[in-house]
């Protein structure tokens, strides 16, 4: 103890030497925010971490973009038309746009983006939709014509909304060098800000692009600090070092609310928590899956684990988005009904009060990510509730790498029920989750349909919706898809996360919704 | 002496080879693998992951990859990170100054305080001051780093606004004073544990030496107390030198928790993310450098024994 005091004294001495307060709010024109991980790669097509997206979002533009109200808006393109057969998409590009290094932006860059993404020597992580393109023509610098291999409705969401990268920087490099290019740390884009400094695991500084095509940014710079500890992030906010703390941890929300200079912006995040039910043994039986849905106390998890920072979920379409099926309602928590369903399904109480059928106990182990305290707590609540209806449930937690990696518990049936989070964002495309073609083939092959859900009607609907360009018809198809999700319970939808962004009162023009933020060029600080 | 060092160096080479083989084997046996990061990402589809597996050579058996890695290392090629695509050695090198600065500050702070405190406690055995120091040491030792770090932050940075919360510099500032102010809290948090443990070891070692016959003889022949204390200290240092030798690699490998709490861009964070992402090239480089330094630290400790105690000779 005395040593602690001694050190404290020493520290105060050291601190007292330089006069003045240690921290001051960011100067006017500077916007400071924080991410938890070091951005791994600022090339939008080579990254794997969300932190990278949170930086490169300021740097790149796409042809069209979703605004924070959820509407598609023209960006690098000003208009487009689709041929009646759905195979030819023609875009007119915005004239006079320049890359941050002064070079003109042209249709060649748009074509090059497709070439980059489909280059098999490059470590591309995101290529969805690009594989449907047969060819790209650039009749003039402001016209791009995509010719598709087949009619493909998600093309707009997947390719038209994807960032465009510069040909003049990357075009001459062979694939192998693109994997290692300095561009990956200091990219060049057409966006409102450009990376001026990237000190790994410390910060990224972005400076305003004064010739940004939409409007001259009001901020001079954005600083993205990299601080892994969430509690430290809150302390940075309390000390006045940050303009924005996105996603305040629920456990510290009340404390943050009490900071006088901070406003909380609450919004529904397009990410849901789920219990994936792997269709082995008893879980192949839809009645068992439905009974488990009734036996899962979702409202209690939202209240006690998430402290109210979540909304009920019934399908994989974000409830305030255009695609949610509003006619569906979550199954209520009804353990009596769950038990009755199981008994009617042929289960009988056995030793220890656990249900059994054909001499086999109804055993459903629960697994989750050890890194998420919320999921670990939710897992305990669910396990207790399932045991109460007679399901023998053991709980396990493991790291993401162990859980989702090859030969992990997902593949040998040990993880029967797995709690984690997922979400295709605000867009509807969910084929990889429910189509039987995405069922993993073996223990080392990846596949998103790890619950092994297989339903011919679902497969047909998912194939049809890809070919359907008519919006009304697409809505009807997705409504039916969500009905099947609800009826067949391939996963139990637990809740949608709500996020709380803490913004200081010195910030103007910042707002955030499920669909995104107001454009960064409109933000200002004083 | 030279023969001894040469022999130890030879042993170290064999040991490092074994360490690399075992580490590589275990790393590959661990569930997950480098592509697991993508498996939990709705944007990255199965066919991309298959292609990445092929591009990164992860579809080859692990022993072939190990041999390729070993051949690379022997030629000085440490490979490229799977995630950033940057040369591993460059990623490590850019962390060295920050890591070394933090760890050395903590080391110096620990030495500066552990020695006087240890000797003070031993020479006043069972006094109230000794008891207080014992209590303080065990308290400091038992205190979780993250808790102490966050408490310091709350008091010194958030409430009193004396020091910055986290980071290494104010953005845009390169002044040494600014750096020092950022260094205070993490160095204190790191140093405290070492002060606690080293002062305990030193206390018991000094106590043991004080009971030796030659100390009594020295006192009996009227040697001044100061001279006696010098002999005692020198003879009490062997266990501490062992500890320090074992801690040498930490100067390089950093301290994950402290670095994370104080947003310090050190090696600990780099290797932790390499570990959780299964970034094999980076992970192996970190392991090998740490292992080399551990071995080197041991050797240096052994050589220091000879300097401290003339009775110890190496042949």
Give the residue from B111, B162, B168 showing the smallest Cα distance to A14: B162
CB A408 to CB B36 under 8 A?
yes
Residue of B nearest to A201 (CA): B265
Q: How far apart are the first and last CA of chain A?
A: 44
Find the angle CA(B135)-CA(B137)-CA(B139) to the nearest 5 degrees.
70
Q: Report pLDDT for A250.
A: 85
* A443 interfaces chain B, CB cutoff of 8 Å: no
Residue carrying the six token digits 């339903």: A455
CB B163 to CB A422 under 8 A?
no
| Portion 278-307 of A in contact with B at CB < 8 A | none
Q: How far apart are CA A72 and CA A90, in angstroms?
A: 17
| Beta-bridge partners for A255 | none
Chain B neighbors of A37, CB-CB under 8 A: 273
Which residue in B44, B84, B136 is closest to A40 by CB distance? B84
* A163 interfaces chain B, CB cutoff of 8 Å: no
* B45 interfaces chain A, CB cutoff of 8 Å: yes
In this predicted structure, the answer to whether residue A38 has a pLDDT above a threshold of 70 is yes
Chain B neighbors of A225, CB-CB under 8 A: 166-167, 171, 263
**Exposed, middle or buried by CB within 10 Å (0-12, 13-18, 19+), for A417?**
buried
**DSSP three-state, residue B218:** helix
A417 HSE (CA, 13 A, CB side): 33
Query: Percent of chain A, pLDDT > 70?
Result: 93
**Distance in Å, alpha carbon of A41 to nearest chain B alpha carbon:** 5
Give the residue from A240, A292, A253 showing the smallest Cα distance to A21: A240
Q: What is the pLDDT of residues B163-215, one digit of tens each?
A: 999 999 887 777 899 999 999 999 999 888 888 888 999 999 999 998 889 99
Give the residue from B96, B152, B142 showing the smallest Cα distance to B268: B96
In this predicted structure, the answer to whether residue A4 has a pLDDT above a threshold of 60 is no
Orientation of helix B62-74 relative to helix B2-29, angle to 10°: 150
Residue of B nearest to A49 (CA): B37
Q: How far apart are CA B232 and CA B208, in angstroms?
A: 9
CB A404 to CB B196 under 8 A?
no
* A28 interfaces chain B, CB cutoff of 8 Å: no
CB A48 to CB B41 under 8 A?
yes
Chain B neighbors of A227, CB-CB under 8 A: 166-167, 263
Range with the poorest average pLDDT among A193-197, A309-313, A384-388, B121-125: B121-125
Q: How far apart are CA A191 and CA A286, in angstroms?
A: 49
In this predicted structure, the answer to whether residue A292 has a pLDDT above a threshold of 80 is yes
Q: How far apart are CA A73 and CA A66, in angstroms?
A: 6
Q: How far apart are CA A232 and CA B25, in angstroms?
A: 36
What is the mean pLDDT of the segment spanning A269-295?
94
Element (H, E) at A414: none
In this predicted structure, the answer to whether residue A8 has a pLDDT above a threshold of 60 is no
Q: How far apart are CA B96 and CA B106, in angstroms?
A: 15
Q: What is the pLDDT of residues B245-289, one digit of tens each?
A: 777 777 777 788 999 999 999 999 999 888 888 889 999 998 998
Q: How far apart are CA A196 and CA A217, in angstroms?
A: 16
Chain A neighbors of B87, CB-CB under 8 A: 180
Q: Report pLDDT for A116.
A: 95
**Per-residue 3-state assignment (H helix, E strand, C coil) for A373-400:** HHHHHHHHHHHHHHHHCCCECCEEEECH
Q: How far apart are CA A234 and CA A236, in angstroms?
A: 5
B217 C-beta neighbours (distance < 10 Å), count: 10
Q: Report pLDDT for A13.
A: 46
Q: What is the pLDDT of residues A319-361, one digit of tens each?
A: 999 999 999 999 999 999 999 999 999 999 999 889 999 999 9
Q: What is the pLDDT of residues B21-47, one digit of tens each?
A: 999 998 888 777 787 777 767 677 777
Q: Report pLDDT for A152.
A: 93
- Annotated domain spans of chain B: 2-74, 90-308
**Per-residue 3-state assignment (H helix, E strand, C coil) for B151-180:** HHHHHHHHHCCCCCCCCCCCCCCCCHHHHH
Report DSSP state, residue A330: P
Determine the topology of domain B90-308 in CATH.
MetI-like fold (1.10.3720)
Q: Report pLDDT for A105.
A: 97
B74 CB-near residues (< 8 Å, 6+ apart): none
CB B52 to CB A125 under 8 A?
yes
**Distance in Å, alpha carbon of B220 to nearest chain A alpha carbon:** 35
Cα A219 vs. chain centroid, distance in angstroms?
27
| Portion 61-100 of B in contact with A at CB < 8 A | 80, 83-87, 91, 94-95
B54 CB-near residues (< 8 Å, 6+ apart): none
What is the mean pLDDT of the segment spanning B220-234?
88
* B188 interfaces chain A, CB cutoff of 8 Å: yes
């Amino acid at each position: 103890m005395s040593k602690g005091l001694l050190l404290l004294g020493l520290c105060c001495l050291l601190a007292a030497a330089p006069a003045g307060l240690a921290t001051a709010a960011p100067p006017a024109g500077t916007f400071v925010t924080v991410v938890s991980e070091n951005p791994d790669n600022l090339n939008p097509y080579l990254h794997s971490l969300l932190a990278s997206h949170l930086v490169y979002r300021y740097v790149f533009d796409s042809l069209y973009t979703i605004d924070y109200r959820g509407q598609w808006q023209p960006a690098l393109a000003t208009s487009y038309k689709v041929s009646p057969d759905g195979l030819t998409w023609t875009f007119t590009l915005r004239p006079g746009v320049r890359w941050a290094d002064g070079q003109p932006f042209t249709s060649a860059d748009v074509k090059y983006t497709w070439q980059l993404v489909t280059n098999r020597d490059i470590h591309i992580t995101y290529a969805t939709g690009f594989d449907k393109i047969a060819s790209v023509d650039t009749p003039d610098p402001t016209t791009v014509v995509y010719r598709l291999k087949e009619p493909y409705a998600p093309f707009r969401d997947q390719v038209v909304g994807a960032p465009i990268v510069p040909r003049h920087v990357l075009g001459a490099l062979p694939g192998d060098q693109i994997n290692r290019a300095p561009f990956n740390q200091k990219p060049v884009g057409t966006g409102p800000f450009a990376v001026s400094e990237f000190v790994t695991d410390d910060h990224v500084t972005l400076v305003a692009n004064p010739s940004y095509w939409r409007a001259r940014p009001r901020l001079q710079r954005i600083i993205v600090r990299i601080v892994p500890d969430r509690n430290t992030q809150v302390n940075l906010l309390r000390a006045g070092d940050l303009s924005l703390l996105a996603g305040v941890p629920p456990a510290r929300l009340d404390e943050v609310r009490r900071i006088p200079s901070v406003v909380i912006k609450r919004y529904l995040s397009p990410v849901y928590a789920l219990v994936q039910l792997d269709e082995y043994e008893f879980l192949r039986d839809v009645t068992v899956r439905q009974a488990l849905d009734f036996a899962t106390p979702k409202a209690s998890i939202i209240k006690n684990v998430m402290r109210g920072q979540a909304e009920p979920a019934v399908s994989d379409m974000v409830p305030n988005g255009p695609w949610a099926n509003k006619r569906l309602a979550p199954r209520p928590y009804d353990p009596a009904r769950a038990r009755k369903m199981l008994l009617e399904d042929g289960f009988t109480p056995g030793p220890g009060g656990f249900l059994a059928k054909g001499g086999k106990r109804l055993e459903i182990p629960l697994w989750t990510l050890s890194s998420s305290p919320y999921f670990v707590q939710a897992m305990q609540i669910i396990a207790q509730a399932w045991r109460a209806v007679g399901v023998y449930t053991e709980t396990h937690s493991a790291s993401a790498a162990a859980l989702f990696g090859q030969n992990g518990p997902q593949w040998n049936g040990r993880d029967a029920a797995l709690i984690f989070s997922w979400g295709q964002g605000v867009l509807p495309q969910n084929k990889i989750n429910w189509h039987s073609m995405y069922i993993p083939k073996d223990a080392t092959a990846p596949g998103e349909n790890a619950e092994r859900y297989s339903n011919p009607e679902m497969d047909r609907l998912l194939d049809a919706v890809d070919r359907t360009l008519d919006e009304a018809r697409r809505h009807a198809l997705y409504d039916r898809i969500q009905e099947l999700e609800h009826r067949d319970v391939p996963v139990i939808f637990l809740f949608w996360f709500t996020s709380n962004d803490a913004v200081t009162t010195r910030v103007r023009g910042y707002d955030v919704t499920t669909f995104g933020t107001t454009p960064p060029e409109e933000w200002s600080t004083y | 002496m030279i023969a001894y060092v040469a022999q130890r160096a030879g042993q170290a080479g064999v040991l490092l080879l074994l360490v690399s083989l075992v580490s590589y084997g275990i790393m590959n046996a661990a569930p997950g693998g480098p592509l697991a990061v993508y498996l939990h990402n709705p944007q990255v589809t199965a066919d991309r992951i298959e292609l990445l597996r092929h591009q990164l050579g992860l579809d080859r058996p692990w022993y072939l990859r190990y041999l390729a890695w070993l051949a690379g290392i022997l030629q000085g090629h440490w490979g490229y990170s799977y995630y950033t695509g940057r040369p591993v050695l460059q990623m490590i090198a850019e962390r060295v100054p920050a890591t070394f600065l933090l760890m050395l500050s903590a080391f110096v702070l620990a030495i500066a305080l552990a020695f006087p405190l240890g000797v003070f406690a031993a020479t006043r055995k069972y006094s109230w001051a000794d008891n207080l120091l014992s209590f303080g040491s065990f308290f400091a030792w038992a205190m979780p780093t993250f808790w102490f770090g966050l408490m310091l932050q709350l008091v010194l940075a958030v409430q009193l606004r004396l020091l910055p919360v986290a980071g290494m510099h104010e953005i845009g500032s390169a002044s040494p004073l600014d750096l020092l102010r950022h260094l205070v809290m993490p160095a204190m948090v790191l140093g405290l544990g070492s002060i606690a443990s080293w002062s305990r070891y030193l206390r018991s070692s000094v106590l043991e030496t004080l009971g030796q016959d030659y100390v009594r003889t020295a006192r009996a022949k009227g040697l001044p107390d100061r001279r006696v204390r010098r002999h005692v200290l020198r003879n009490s240092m062997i266990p501490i030198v062992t500890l320090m030798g074992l801690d040498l690699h930490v100067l390089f490998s950093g301290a994950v928790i402290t670095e994370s709490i104080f947003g310090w861009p050190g090696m600990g964070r780099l290797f932790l993310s390499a570990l959780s992402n299964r970034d094999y090239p980076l992970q192996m480089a970190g392991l090998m450098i740490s292992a080399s330094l551990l071995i080197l630290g041991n050797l240096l400790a052994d050589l220091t024994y000879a300097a401290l105690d003339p009775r110890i000779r190496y042949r």
